[in-house]
Amino acid sequence: MTPAATSRDRFRGCLIGQCLGDALGFIVEGEAPPVCAAYVEKVLKRGRAHEGRRGPYPFGQYSDDSQLARELMQSYAARGEFDAADYAARVAAIFTEGRIVGKGRATEEAAMRLADGVPWQGAGTPPPSAGNGSAMRAGPIGLMFSSDGGALARAAVDQGRITHTDPRCAAGAVAIAGAVSLALDGTAPSLFPERLAAWADPLDAAMAGALRDLGQWLDLAPAGAVGPISRAGLQPGYRDAWQGISPYVVGSVIWSLYAFLRSPDDYWESICTAIAVGGDVDTTAAMTGAIAGARNGLGAVPGDLARRLNDNGTWTYDELAGLADRVWEISLKGGKEP
């Protein structure tokens, strides 16, 4: 890991690393593997990422994954602690105010229930819906609870339950939050699969099993790993229309960890691995970016691209860095005192 990265750098790296991965993936979200592979080789690796565009958005716009991770940090900064009810109100507001970009169906349905007055404990979309919406925004929980694994797991589950109640979604959120906390304290990459599996064990056997299998899949190049990872946690013979990595929580969480762990000291290479496979790549790159940024610090995140980040012209680089600093300050004091 970057030896000079301070813990403040790593908090900044986590949030800005997530937003940049998301913004890079958003350009080709949902595209097939050949399209995404060509984007990585001919655009990202040739210094042309800033030329990208998605619909009305020039490069730099990040999407729902990072908007909702940012809102989680905004809530923590405002409340001085993780407060599920406050966060749920923010999830509802970003939908009802039309600020969400690239929304997911289960999250939107839950947000509408929240907006109708359903308490957060009962608003989540039930199984068999098992998309990656609870995991894509869970990285900041790893910053807030980096020294308390039990509190980390409880908060990751609760922030997820606001929109998704399937146990696979709970385990996916814990895996991403846990990976950020391990990245933050410099845990050896080889220890991640078993450590994260132990966190997932009490929640969901499919996610825990896939996390243990990740130890072997890391020996495979991406072309060999994508098959087993995209099918991880699915019933044999299950088919859907997705090519590459679908929004299913197990496969997308495992792919984001694979992309990080294949090159744990190289933020950019990990983002390229996350995206080149195709599919729901804004989300995989967002999760990978949060973990890689937490390990390597802000200095590892390309600054020229990060300085273009924005959310419809708001929440740009300096504001994101300031928010990360605020969360860092509060977490150092163990929470409470906004």
- Kindly state whether residue 65 participates in binding Mg ion, applying the rule CB under 5 A: yes
Q: Which one of 13-21, 88-96, 184-192, 282-290 is the stretch in contact with Mg ion (CB under 5 A)? A: 282-290
How many Å apart are CA 62 and CA 313, to the nearest integer?
Answer: 11
Minimum distance of Mg ion from residue 64's CB (angstroms) = 4
Residue closer to Mg ion (CB basis): 212 or 308: 308
Residue closer to Mg ion (CB basis): 63 or 163: 63
- Kindly state whether residue 131 participates in binding Mg ion, applying the rule CB under 5 A: no
- Kindly state whether residue 282 participates in binding Mg ion, applying the rule CB under 5 A: yes
Tell which one of 9, 31, 64, 71 touches Mg ion (CB under 5 A).
Answer: 64
- Kindly state whether residue 63 participates in binding Mg ion, applying the rule CB under 5 A: yes
Residue closer to Mg ion (CB basis): 57 or 267: 57
Size of the site for Mg ion (CB under 5 A): 5
Minimum distance of Mg ion from residue 104's CB (angstroms) = 7
Q: Which one of 176-184, 185-193, 279-287, 316-324 is the stretch in contact with Mg ion (CB under 5 A)? A: 279-287
- Kindly state whether residue 311 participates in binding Mg ion, applying the rule CB under 5 A: no
Residue number, nearest CB to Mg ion: 63
Minimum distance of Mg ion from residue 324's CB (angstroms) = 20
Tell which one of 102, 133, 193, 289 touches Mg ion (CB under 5 A).
Answer: 102
Residue closer to Mg ion (CB basis): 63 or 256: 63
Minimum distance of Mg ion from residue 139's CB (angstroms) = 14
- Kindly state whether residue 246 participates in binding Mg ion, applying the rule CB under 5 A: no
Minimum distance of Mg ion from residue 239's CB (angstroms) = 24
For the chain, the three-class secondary structure string (H helix, E strand, C coil) is CCCCCCHHHHHHHHHHHHHHHHHHHHCCCCCCHHHHHHHHHHCHHHCCHHHCEECCEECCECCHHHHHHHHHHHHHHHHCCCCHHHHHHHHHHHHHCCCCCCCCHHHHHHHHHHHCCCCHHHCCECCCCCECCCCCCCHHHHHHCCCCHHHHHHHHHHHHHCCECCHHHHHHHHHHHHHHHHHHCCCCHHHHHHHHHHHHCCCCHHHHHHHHHHHHHCCCCHHHHHHHHHHCCCCCCCCCCCCCECCEHHHHHHHHHHHHHHCCCCHHHHHHHHHHCCECHHHHHHHHHHHHHHHHCHHHCCHHHHCCCEECCECCHHHHHHHHHHHHHHHHCCCCCC
Return residues touching Mg ion (CB under 5 A). 63-65, 102, 282
